[in-house]
Structure 1
Amino acid sequence: MSEFPASFSPIQLHNRLNRPVWVGFKMARRGSRQLVMLSAGAESGAKLSKNFETFVGQIVREFKLDPEHTDFVELRREKAGGEGATGSADAHSWFRWHAQWVGSAPMECKADPVTSESARSYLDEVLVQSNAAA
């Protein structure tokens, strides 16, 4: 599963079509909040933009997380040599996912790019730490 960062653990989830897919997964804690980092990798059936509700519902139930105290972020890795690429194979973007929660079911989900330099720096720091809580 080399398409995920080394500090991520592969986790098998079911997409919206109920097909098993692999997603990169990492959890970290900061104070009273839980941070869940996800990456779809190269598998097209694991795209978070189409499957976020399905994936995080499974994660919240499996790990018994409180969605009100959990932040979900997505790591999107850009292909080297793509538009705007600087030649680095490690080019990536962060997206913070928001949802209205009804119990463990997410509704009205949307992702916003993480634009704050301090937030991106923090996420990059967590990314390289090898102590995933999964």
Structure 2
Amino acid sequence: MKGIPSSLSPIQLHNRLNRPVWIGFKMTRRGKRQLVLLSTGTEGGAQLSKNFETFVGQIVREFKIDPAQTDFVELRQEKGQSDIGENGAGESGAVAHSWYRWHAHWVGSAPMECRADPVTSDSACSYLEEALLRSTAAA
């Protein structure tokens, strides 16, 4: 659970090798759509790039999420930074993380052909920062 931002709830999932790992998780709603924020912190066995299909399949089934109405976004922390605190900053005081939006072709609750794109829009990044730090996301 090391390195997971304090504003995300740790949940235990199984990676593609069926080993238990902890990831940070937060689900918010905006209108009819849901936003799922994910972060692996610094746990090596929990890399989203290698385990996205496995992790979100478990999340969709466990929380009964409609994947067609859900956006999955990953918070990647830069190496050398510790937990993101209440102000969104690491130990050095500078925000050292990036956002990635995951896309998948869904067959039932199974994601296929998954890929992540960096979130580069200032307004989208601001919304995600706000969603991360608030108890509920702004509508």
TM-score (norm 2): 0.86
The CA distance in 2 between the partners of 1:40 and 1:118, in whole Å, is: 24
Corresponding position of 1:36:
36
The answer as to 2:105 corresponding to 1:100 is: yes
DSSP 3-state at the match of 2:55? helix
The CA distance in 2 between the partners of 1:51 and 1:29, in whole Å, is: 24
1:7 CA displacement: 1.1
Contact in 1 for aligned 2:2/2:42 (Cα 8 Å): no
Corresponding position of 1:45:
45
**Aligned-pair identity (%):** 75
1:33-61 deviation per Cα after TM superposition (whole angstroms, max 9, x unaligned)? 00000001111000000000000000000
Corresponding position of 2:26:
26
What is the 5 A alignment of 1:1-134? Answer: 1-80=1-80, 87-88=92-93, 90-131=95-136
TM-score (norm 1): 0.89
1:80 CA displacement: 3.8
Amino acid at match of 1:34: Q
The CA distance in 1 between the partners of 2:134 and 2:116, in whole Å, is: 24
Query: Which 5+ residue runs of structure 1 have no aligned equivalent?
Result: 82-86
Contact in 2 for aligned 1:22/1:40 (Cα 8 Å): yes
Amino acid at match of 1:123: L
The CA distance in 1 between the partners of 2:135 and 2:4, in whole Å, is: 13
Corresponding position of 1:84:
none
Contact in 1 for aligned 2:39/2:74 (Cα 8 Å): yes
Contact in 1 for aligned 2:13/2:55 (Cα 8 Å): yes
Aligned residues: 127
